[in-house]
Amino acid sequence: MTWHRFPHRLLAASACVFGVVCLLRAGEAPPPEKWEDALRKQLERKVSFKFVDTPLCDAIAFFTSFTKQNIIVGPDALKDAPAVTLEVKDLSMSEALKQVLDKAGLEFQQGDMALYIVKKGTPQRELLKPITPVTEWEKALHKALQRKVTFEFVDTPLDEAFSFLRSLVNVPMMLDPKLLADDLPTVNLRVTDMTLETALMWILRMNELHYQLRDEALFIYRRGAYASGPIVPLTPAQLEALNKVLPDLAAQDFEARQRATKVIEGLGPAAAGPLQAAVAKATDPEARMRIKKLLDAVPVTDLFAEPAEVTKALDALERPVSFEFVDTRLDEDAKFLSGLSDTKVTVAADAAATLVNLRVAAMRLGNAIRWTARLGGARIVLKGGVLQFVKRP
């Protein structure tokens, strides 16, 4: 057995948390027994204990240690949780855990290779679909993510958590720039002998995130941030309804503003164009702010859509490249990429100063150019045989 220890980030101590330690167990064969069967046997075991004013997180740690199973605590589940005072004798592990959680208004759900602790009445969310590889690069990525890991994140910023995961395997994980522009969520997760793919899915699930496999990389973005396909324009009746309620966003009546907001939200991604026009015309500062807020919540069209001529030009750039951009300007990145082939890459003035962070290894040049543009908030156009990065609206 080989253990690798990664001191990750020390944080302020509390009754339950003393910092972050990330551990990786490598090179072990998967357990011969199915996880569901192992969990059932563990939950049927009899247990006796006495908790007296025991912090709930310590009580859960006891069950984790006793069952040797992953127990994942949902966001805010332990917030303001009372200490546990309980004594049980020869009770099944399942019933004992239920009694402990019941005192805090919590319950557990069975998830993917883990028990998930949430507040009572929390709907069981559909699990993210596991990666189903089709192409050769997808198969290689999927294989890398089957590595068994043991780690703990405690109040770890999302970008740092993904930076650590990238260090474990040679898998390009791209975080949506829109996600990085928001207040990043923190990750609280402890797993033992779990595949990296499953651990990744738990991080996404707990933070309202989703993923797509595109262009030799795994792209992470906020759930609902992008439309899944072409956007159908508004019908004349829908456009009339939108224009009718837009003035109400400036109304003093709160209920009128709420009704207008619900109508606009119900129109979905197709409302983006008219809303952008309304922002430009709005003279009332409050109304302008509310329209912008609605616009930010509207899923934009497919991030990966590109003109056919751009696709043809990029697909022809098959040379594998490896490089890293760390807070480099998009215009500097364009010069670097131009030096890797005979195809010139330029950048429009309004996008030149955008900073890009990107690391690729043995990725096709065409895809590396695509990801440079996406992470730089740009789209790609082809003008006179020259690829140009243009600021995405």
As a whole number of Å, the end-to-end CA separation of the chain is 52
Bridge partners (DSSP) of residue 117 are: 73, 108
- Name the residue type at position 10: L
The residue-averaged pLDDT of 322-349 equals 95
Domains 1-29+146-226 and 308-391 share a fold: yes
For the domain made up of 1-29+146-226, the CATH class stated in words is alpha beta
Provide CB contacts within 8 A for 280, sequence distance 6+: none
User: Is 349 a residue whose pLDDT tops 90?
Assistant: yes
> 308-391: what CATH class?
alpha beta
At 247, phi and psi to the nearest 5?
-60, -25
Q: Is there a contact between 364 and 318 (Cβ–Cβ < 8 Å)?
A: yes
pLDDT of residue 354 exceeding 50: yes
Residue ranges of domains in the chain: 1-29+146-226, 31-119, 236-297, 308-391
pLDDT greater at residue 323 or residue 24: 323
**What pLDDT score was predicted for residue 23?**
42
370: amino acid identity, one letter: R
Q: What is the pLDDT of residue 338?
A: 96
- What's the pLDDT score for residue 195? 93
Name every residue whose Cβ is closer than 8 Å to that of residue 34 and which is 6 or more positions away in sequence: none
pLDDT one-digit tens code per residue, 12-57: 333 343 333 344 444 455 545 677 888 888 889 999 999 999 999 8
What pTM was computed for the model?
0.72
pLDDT of amino acid 5: 32
- pLDDT, one tens digit per residue, over 161-209 is 999 998 888 889 999 988 877 778 889 999 999 999 999 999 999 888 9
**Residue positions counted in the chain:** 393
pLDDT at site 287: 82
How does the average pLDDT of the chain come out, rounded?
Answer: 84
Mean pLDDT of the region 336-359: 94
Residue 225 has pLDDT above 80, yes or no: no
**Domain 31-119 sits in CATH 3.55.50.30:** yes
